[in-house]
Amino acid sequence: MQRVSLKFLAKELGIAEGTVSRALNDYPDISEATRERVKEVAKKFNYKANQNARRLATGVAEAVAYLMPPNTHAISEPFVSQLLEGLGSSLAKRGWDLLVVQASSPETEAETVEKLSSSGKVSGVVISRPYKEDRRIELLKKYNVPFIVHGRSVNSEDYAWYDVDGEKAFHDGVGILAELGHQNIAFIGAPTDYNFGQMRLDGYRRGLASNNLTLDEAIIKIVDMSDDAGAAATAKMLGLPHPPTAILCATDTQAFGALAAIREAGLTPGIEVSVLGYDGLDFGKHTNPPLTTMAQPQSHSGEEICDMLLAIIDGGNPVDYQELRSAILVRRMSVGPVRPQ
Amino acid sequence: MQRVSLKFLAKELGIAEGTVSRALNDYPDISEATRERVKEVAKKFNYKANQNARRLATGVAEAVAYLMPPNTHAISEPFVSQLLEGLGSSLAKRGWDLLVVQASSPETEAETVEKLSSSGKVSGVVISRPYKEDRRIELLKKYNVPFIVHGRSVNSEDYAWYDVDGEKAFHDGVGILAELGHQNIAFIGAPTDYNFGQMRLDGYRRGLASNNLTLDEAIIKIVDMSDDAGAAATAKMLGLPHPPTAILCATDTQAFGALAAIREAGLTPGIEVSVLGYDGLDFGKHTNPPLTTMAQPQSHSGEEICDMLLAIIDGGNPVDYQELRSAILVRRMSVGPVRPQ
DNA sequence: CGCTAGACCGAAAGCGCTTTCGGAATCAAT
DNA sequence: ATTGATTCCGAAAGCGCTTTCGGTCTAGCG
């Protein structure tokens, strides 16, 4: 099976290799006649340029990488899937590739980033869920790779990012609960080395203050983002002498666990204890009871992020690409007014 | 910023480019001394080989592609995420890349596959959820790309695949329900142009036969794999003069909908109407009631599939790589004995 | 001490494409 | 008919790496 290369086409057409290349790439110095002739023959032989040669010659990769969050099972989280989907389809429209790369361990992360930037494999990268201080971001800046962050680190002035305002969401979340009469509002948070974890906690705190509620460390639990962790934290708080009547959760998954723990304690979520989640997972409508949550408007985040990244690759100034979205409340059944004790 | 290339290293070391390359790649004809010297300098300058050049020279891509299912939002399905995660980490261990490619539309699918195979971008590809007759498989065979199918098409003798025996699972599923006294077992299936849809339906039918149950077309619904579709189908069947006492669902997502529809009808799932799902989604433990389901043992499917693919890329015969796994029952609360009417 | 066999490295070709540069051919204008 | 511009294409030089081939040098042997 003869591999059809430029050389092959050139021979077939009786013209020079370079001419074929220029014809295929619509250079202006090729006559209409030969351009068409070339393209026809190319189609006939089903010519597909070797991407590696092309990339080597042009120096542009026409590919972007998504750097998976370092923690395990991260890809199973819906937000990753949605992001990938959007990125993938946007990229595909332009004929670019999407690389999904995982650092095998936190130690090799730097190595991975370096390799990504130095090996010419990609023209840009996107990462998610930065830590407050994130090494990946530093490396990306250092190696001068166009990148965009899904989320923000603490110092986010000088790079491009796309984020949902979790601080505001949790501030407002407390307000929603307070308005329903809740005074004893617990918080189940995510690890605060993640900046989003910190911001949601900050929002919660500010929300408390805005509503003249006192902060009680006993009903603030920073735990893993899993249902089991959410359940354990909830169980513990329910055993308090003065248990919370509402629980604000940093993630829906934790909220699922909270629901379970409340039922386990013989109480009814949404009636005796309200639960407000965050993420807007579709699945929340099937829990018992359906979960009220603050949804990230991330249906098109992948596309937006892709557009932003491409703009930066094309020479745009990263600082011009910082998008902050707001979460929106999805009312279901897990939040209700406080009941008289 | 001087790009550190082989040439650069060679000059730095005062030896030939080829020698540097061979040293770095552990060729046996390089003395231990220079090998170390080379590697040291390479590390010092943080040398990373340009992958495009490397690939061009060697002709091997060291990358595999996952071809996304053509339907939209496919990536959000947990099985895709899990697969990607496994593939990604296995590949990463070997320093290979994972490309996620989406055909922008069914029409461009052939084009996509062609390009993938001819452009030298990847050494192998994996696809999921084949149709009974699947064009992608034909194309992959035609272009002689190593590939492996997650699932099987109707004629699966001559290529490599990894599948879970849905036929058996549904046959046994009927048995489980029948043993609990159910005689009127409904089936909510997936579109039968997907081969897995057909196989699960076949299994259901054979299960009916094995248990001397009569097949009633009125309680067989082939619908989309969504919760809404599952709910609608369930609602319809519940309105029948002789409604089913148990429902077997082709996917957990449909089962979630079924649960909702049953509650909507004022009945209690797991008591008045049993629901048995398939997929083993972790999330099923949070439904109301928790969903009993047949789980795909897919936690490591990504790794296994990766190993199989690499073996084929290394020259293995695809036919030697056909793995059939069994589903395992996860007992939760949505299945119970039939109640006296 | 001469000869052969390794051990080790340099030189160079090539992977398949892009892109610059210059030359040939065509054409219009003087 | 000469010149100057254009138009179009061929030739060739890379892009950064791998890999073969042969040559030099040392060591080991008789």
Q: Is residue A179 helix, strand or coil?
A: helix
Q: What is the pLDDT of residue A55?
A: 96
Query: What is the pLDDT confidence band of residue B10, given thresholds at 50, 70 and 90?
Result: very high
Average pLDDT over residues A205-222: 98
Give B198-207 pLDDT, tens digit per residue. 999 999 999 9
Per the prediction, chain B carries an average pLDDT of 93
pLDDT at position A73 over 70: no
Of B49, B56, B286, the CB nearest to A53: B56
Q: Which residue does chain B place closest to A71, by CA atoms?
A: B85
Instruction: Determine phi and psi for A189, rounding to 5 degrees.
Output: -105, 175
pLDDT at position B1 over 70: no
- Percentage of chain B modeled with pLDDT above 70: 96
State the helix-helix crossing angle for A51-58 and B51-58, rounded to 10 degrees: 140
Covered bases, chain C (protein CB within 7 Å): 7-22
In chain A, CATH 3.40.50.2300 covers 63-164+298-325, 166-296
Contact flag, residue A29 CB and nucleic strand D, below 7 A: yes
What is the rounded CA–CA span in Å between residue A242 and residue B36? Answer: 67
Contact flag, residue A49 CB and nucleic strand C, below 7 A: yes
Q: What is the pLDDT of residue B37?
A: 96
CATH 3.40.50.2300 fits B63-164+298-325, yes or no: yes
pLDDT at position B57 over 90: yes
CB contact under 8 A, A288 and B283: no
Contact flag, residue B58 CB and nucleic strand D, below 7 A: yes
Give A75-130 pLDDT, tens digit per residue. 557 778 788 888 998 999 899 999 999 877 777 888 888 888 889 999 999 999 99
Give A103-112 pLDDT, tens digit per residue. 777 778 888 8
Q: Which residue has the tokens 């993420």?
A: A279
Of A84, A102, A288, the CB nearest to B100: A84
B-chain residues near A5 (CB < 8 A): none
CA distance A213 to chain B (A): 32
CB contact under 8 A, B82 and A76: yes
Lowest mean pLDDT among A197-201, A220-224, B38-42, B116-120: B116-120
Contact flag, residue A11 CB and nucleic strand C, below 7 A: no
CA-based nearest residue to B67, from B132, B145, B133: B145
In chain B, CATH 1.10.260.40 covers 6-49
Structure tokens at B277: 């799902």
Lowest mean pLDDT among A177-191, A294-308, B15-29, B122-136: A294-308
- Percentage of chain A modeled with pLDDT above 70: 96
Q: What is the pLDDT of residue A72?
A: 57
CB contact under 8 A, A286 and B288: yes
What is the rounded CA–CA span in Å between residue B112 and residue A44? Answer: 17
What is the rounded CA–CA span in Å between residue A169 and residue A193? Answer: 19
C14 C1' to A58 CA distance, Å: 19
Contact flag, residue B268 CB and nucleic strand C, below 7 A: no
Chain centroid offset of residue B76 CA: 12
Lowest mean pLDDT among A250-264, B135-149, B195-209: B135-149
List the single protein residue with the shortest CA to C1' distance from D19: B18
Which listed CATH number (1.10.1840.10, 1.10.10.60, 3.40.1710.10, 1.10.260.40) goes with B6-49? 1.10.260.40
- Percentage of chain A modeled with pLDDT above 90: 83
What is the rounded CA–CA span in Å between residue B325 and residue A16? Answer: 55
CA distance B287 to chain A (A): 5
Q: What is the pLDDT of residue A1?
A: 56
Average pLDDT over residues A139-153: 94
pLDDT at position B73 over 60: no
CA-based nearest residue to A158, from A166, A150, A148, A168: A148
Q: What is the pLDDT of residue A2?
A: 65
What is the rounded CA–CA span in Å between residue A39 and residue A208? Answer: 67
Q: What is the pLDDT of residue B340?
A: 78
What is the rounded CA–CA span in Å between residue B240 and residue A226? Answer: 41
CA-based nearest residue to B52, from A56, A111, A178: A56
Q: What is the pLDDT of residue B298?
A: 65
Average pLDDT over residues B249-258: 97
Give B142-185 pLDDT, tens digit per residue. 989 999 999 999 999 999 999 999 999 999 999 999 999 999 99
Contact flag, residue B7 CB and nucleic strand C, below 7 A: no
Query: What is the pLDDT confidence band of residue B328, given thresholds at 50, 70 and 90?
Result: very high
CA distance B167 to chain A (A): 27
Q: Which residue does chain B place closest to A3, by CA atoms?
A: B118
Q: Which residue does chain B place closest to A99, by CA atoms?
A: B99
pLDDT at position B75 over 70: no
Q: What is the pLDDT of residue A152?
A: 97
pLDDT at position B251 over 90: yes
Q: Are A88 and B100 in contact (CB under 8 A)?
A: yes
Average pLDDT over residues B265-293: 97
Q: What is the pLDDT of residue A121?
A: 94
CA-based nearest residue to B166, from B20, B21, B296: B296
Q: Are B332 and B291 in contact (CB under 8 A)?
A: yes
Of B48, B61, B260, the CB nearest to A119: B48
Lowest mean pLDDT among B10-24, B57-71, B244-258: B57-71
Q: Are B13 and B40 in contact (CB under 8 A)?
A: no
Query: What is the pLDDT confidence band of residue B341, given thresholds at 50, 70 and 90?
Result: low
pLDDT at position A219 over 90: yes
Contact flag, residue A53 CB and nucleic strand D, below 7 A: yes
Architecture per CATH, A166-296: 3-Layer(aba) Sandwich (3.40)
Query: What is the pLDDT confidence band of residue A28, given thresholds at 50, 70 and 90?
Result: very high
Q: In what order do the strands lie in the sheet with B185-189?
A: B220-222, B185-189, B246-249, B274-279, B292-295, B328-330
Give B210-231 pLDDT, tens digit per residue. 999 999 999 999 999 999 999 9
Total H helices, total E strands in chain B: 12, 12
Per the prediction, chain A carries an average pLDDT of 93
Of B76, B85, B260, the CB nearest to A286: B260
CA distance A157 to chain B (A): 25
